[in-house]
Amino acid sequence: MNTSLTPNAAIEAAVSSEVELDYAASCELPTPWATFRLHAFVEPATGKEHVAITLGDVADGEPVLARIHSECLTGDGLFSLRCDCGPQLEAALQKIAEEGRGALFYLRQEGRGIGLVNKIRAYQLQDAGADTVEANEALGFKPDQRNYKLCQPMLRHLQISTLRLMTNNPRKIKAMEQLGVKVVERVPLVITRNPFNERYLTTKAAKLGHLF
């Protein structure tokens, strides 16, 4: 962090590095819990496609119950017990459905930003004894490469400025505040431990500051 930056310069730097996303289309998304709206966005710089899932009127100015979820094919779609992504995604959509209002931002930054193949390489190292942070570092990546700025154009498009954020990760709250998005409440997500995710969850708490 460059401490010589004045607050205004820091804000300018954050704005100038803003991620550009183009809104593409919206449709209905029926699920076991509610029929949501699914909104598609394209990142022109990378061609990556991201989605936001909303329920109810999120543009009325009231704080929005929200989840920022980064893609995890193994956890979200393949039932992996190595991480807590699938249960967190499901719990967040259920909570939004229970309240009848909220938003979930599904960011296509697989494996904390390193991509699917590299995540599987990291899992291979973990099978041989490394923890999740050590494995990423052994592959030459930072422990967490995710960029939450992707949310900014989606939030703007959906006219959301204040969140009740469902997260166990204080970095996400900090990232939102740096983007000028107010987080009025942290809503914890309670996750079930199993023999396969025990070490992963412990490492996330110890090395990445997650709160469980």
Q: Is 87 in the site for Zn ion (CB under 5 A)?
A: no
Q: Is 85 in the site for Zn ion (CB under 5 A)?
A: yes
Q: How far apart are CA 22 and CA 105, in angstroms?
A: 15
Binding string, residues 33-72; x marks residues near Zn ion by CB under 5 A: ---------------------------------------x
Among 19, 55, 83, 151, binds Zn ion (CB under 5 A): 83
Q: How far apart are CA 25 and CA 39, in angstroms?
A: 6
The smaller minimum CB distance to Zn ion, of residues 58 and 122, is found at 122
Q: How far apart are CA 59 and CA 109, in angstroms?
A: 26
> Does 84 qualify as catalytic in the annotation?
no
The smaller minimum CB distance to Zn ion, of residues 66 and 83, is found at 83
| Closest C-alpha to 163, from 92, 63, 39, 95 | 63
Q: Is 107 in the site for Zn ion (CB under 5 A)?
A: no
| Closest C-alpha to 106, from 75, 63, 80, 144 | 75
> Does 144 qualify as catalytic in the annotation?
yes
Question: Where does this chain touch Zn ion (CB under 5 A) — which range of 17-25, 36-44, 51-59, 85-93?
Answer: 85-93
The smaller minimum CB distance to Zn ion, of residues 132 and 152, is found at 132
Residue 181 near residue 64 (C-beta atoms within 8 A)? no
Among 56, 75, 102, 113, binds Zn ion (CB under 5 A): 75
Least Cβ distance, residue 98 to Zn ion (angstroms):
23
Q: How far apart are CA 143 and CA 130, in angstroms?
A: 13
Least Cβ distance, residue 88 to Zn ion (angstroms):
8
The DSSP secondary-structure symbol of 119 reads H
The DSSP secondary-structure symbol of 33 reads S
The number of angstroms, rounded, from the C-alpha of 177 to the middle of its chain's C-alpha atoms is 15
The residue ranges that bind Zn ion (CB under 5 A) are 72, 75, 83, 85
